[in-house]
Amino acid sequence: MVIRVEDIPEHGKQESFLEDEGPLNERLGGETANSGLHFAGPVQVRVNLSRSGRIILAKSRVEARVKCICARCLDPFALTLSSEIQVSIKPKPDPRLAPPEEIELSREDLESDFYEGEEVDLSPLVQDQVLLTLPAKVICREDCRGLCQRCGKNLNRETCQCPGAEIDPRLASLKNFRVH
């Protein structure tokens, strides 16, 4: 999504668009192959753009549908991720005019980014924002019982007769705890 700087009114305007999931899945690469994590469709983006001179303020909300594999029971499931951030986007400083050491990267809490020329490409920003919302490890539900360590049955769906299988793996550490 490319926007001309002069098309952004000072008082602001709202833009909605879909960001293709292809480049996002490409950027995920093989790193998360184990959790099977990938984007199931385009990312919905709503961005509020306003401008103060050449400095653009973007407040963007993204919503992405993600497919992944539960780390405990290995079942595939879907997840909706969303996040909202504010970024100020400034013209890239000309190194001939301002020595690099004098450039303040972020003097406020806002994240900062730069653009060159008369246009701003919002896509890389949106992609970064989406990728930052990805959890490191996903489970299908808080009380997922996982797989039996002995026979491999999915304990969410069935029970097994393995010795010790009835002990919730999360409680296993309490097994040796005795009250005197």
Q: Which is nearer to Zn ion, 51 or 72 (CB)?
A: 72
Residue from 62, 70, 87, 138 touching Zn ion (CB under 5 A): that is 70
Residue from 32, 35, 160, 169 touching Zn ion (CB under 5 A): that is 160
* Nearest approach, Cβ of residue 122 and Zn ion (Å): 35
Three-class DSSP labels, the chain: CEEEHHHCCCCCEEEEEEECCHHHHHHHCCCCHHHCCEECCCEEEEEEEEEECCEEEEEEEEEEEEEEECCCCCCEEEEEEEEEEEEEEEECCCCCCCCHHHCCCCCCCCEEEEECCCEEECHHHHHHHHHHCCCCCCCCCCCCCCECCCCCCECCCCCCCCCCCCCCCCCHHHCCCCCC
Distance CA 112, CA 131 (A): 17
* Nearest approach, Cβ of residue 150 and Zn ion (Å): 5
The size of the chain, in residues, is 180
Note whether 78 binds Zn ion by CB under 5 A. no
Note whether 167 binds Zn ion by CB under 5 A. no
Residue from 37, 45, 64, 73 touching Zn ion (CB under 5 A): that is 73
Note whether 162 binds Zn ion by CB under 5 A. yes
Note whether 151 binds Zn ion by CB under 5 A. yes
Residue from 37, 43, 56, 148 touching Zn ion (CB under 5 A): that is 148
> Which residue matches tokens 């306003």?
50
Question: Could you give the string, one character per residue 111-140, with x where binding to Zn ion holds by CB under 5 A and - elsewhere?
Answer: -----------------------------x
Residue from 150, 166, 168, 170 touching Zn ion (CB under 5 A): that is 150
Q: Which is nearer to Zn ion, 1 or 165 (CB)?
A: 165
**Interface with Zn ion (CB under 5 A):** 70, 72-73, 140, 144, 148, 150-151, 160, 162, 165
